[in-house]
């Protein structure tokens, strides 16, 4: 990583657990978009009162050492198992219910059932690097669970209960989406300005890191990589975030937001 300053936003979409494509049909659980990419929602200042955290853990697998002749003869890395503690001040009601797998009722309410299927989402986090570029961490697949909610009475000051979520990353086959890179062990590779962590044998992609200052970086291709659409697999008319220094993309900043709040 290049070192990050602050948190601009994080973007999320529900995906089909089999095809790993973004679910765009809102009647089937797809999210209302606010960035001109079907099914993808950006959590930022305009839409959600601001993104507050994206605390990423376990990006590297555990190192296992093999000893021989009184020394370390070999070291192998286990599979990365990232989790992300996400936060925002006020994610729109419909969005947070859908990404956490709640079941919608006819009256607009949502219910948690004991037999609910695991929800699958793709996630892209946007920050600024020390060099002033846009830095991104993208996860191809994962589950989202709701955090604890401590609702308190107001007193001399207003008590705000912010939204907290946990994203648990899963892997996807390397053939899914844009990349088909493989290797022979746990490995990291660089393609088009993206650093991809792969496991081999199954060729499973876990996450990718992007930098707008990297040679070959393209914002639209990154969006298509993390949020593949049905059909040609490319997101269309994506809009770079406000203030983005993204190379190869001159899209205007998005100003729209979901109306579910």
Question: Which pair of structure tokens corresponds to residue 245?
Answer: 């220094």
* pLDDT score of 136: 98
Rounded average pLDDT over 159-169: 94
pTM of the complete model beyond 0.75: yes
Angle at the Cα of 52 (from 60 to 249), degrees rounded to 5? 75
Which pLDDT tens digit goes with each residue over 112-143? 888 877 899 999 999 999 999 999 999 999 99
Distance CA 44, CA 255 (A): 11
Least confident span in 76-80, 142-146, 167-171, 252-256: 252-256
H/E segment holding residue 173:
strand 172-173
Q: 35, 43 in Cβ contact below 8 A?
A: no
Residues in the chain: 261
Least confident span in 41-45, 203-207, 215-219, 228-232: 228-232
Q: How many CB atoms lie within 10 A of CB 260?
A: 16
* pLDDT score of 115: 80
* pLDDT score of 148: 87
Distance CA 173, CA 181 (A): 10
Question: Which pair of structure tokens corresponds to residue 154?
Answer: 């107001």
């Amino acid at each position: 990583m290049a070192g990050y300053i602050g948190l601009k936003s994080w973007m999320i979409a529900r995906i089909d657990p089999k095809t790993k494509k973004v679910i765009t049909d809102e009647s089937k659980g797809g999210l209302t978009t606010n960035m001109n990419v079907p099914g993808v929602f950006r959590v930022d200042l305009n839409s959600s009162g601001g993104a507050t955290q994206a605390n990423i853990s376990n990006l590297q697998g555990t190192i296992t050492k093999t000893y021989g002749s009184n020394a370390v003869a070999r070291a192998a890395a286990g599979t990365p198992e990232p989790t992300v503690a996400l936060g925002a001040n006020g994610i729109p009601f419909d969005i947070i219910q859908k990404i956490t797998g709640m079941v919608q009722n006819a009256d607009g309410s949502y219910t948690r059932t004991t037999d609910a299927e695991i929800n699958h989402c793709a996630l892209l986090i946007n920050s600024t690097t020390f060099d002033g570029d846009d830095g991104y961490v993208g996860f191809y697949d994962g589950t989202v669970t709701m955090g604890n909610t401590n609702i308190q009475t107001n007193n001399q000051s207003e008590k705000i209960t912010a939204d907290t979520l946990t994203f648990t990353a899963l892997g996807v086959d390397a053939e899914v989406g844009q990349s088909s890179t493989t290797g022979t062990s746990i490995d990291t590779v660089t393609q088009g300005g993206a650093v991809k962590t792969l496991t081999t044998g199954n060729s499973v992609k876990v996450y990718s890191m992007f930098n707008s200052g990297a040679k070959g970086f393209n914002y639209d291709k990154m969006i298509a990589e993390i949020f593949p659409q049905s059909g040609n697999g490319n997101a269309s008319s994506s809009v770079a975030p406000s203030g983005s220094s993204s190379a190869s993309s001159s899209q205007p900043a998005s100003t729209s937001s979901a109306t579910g709040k």
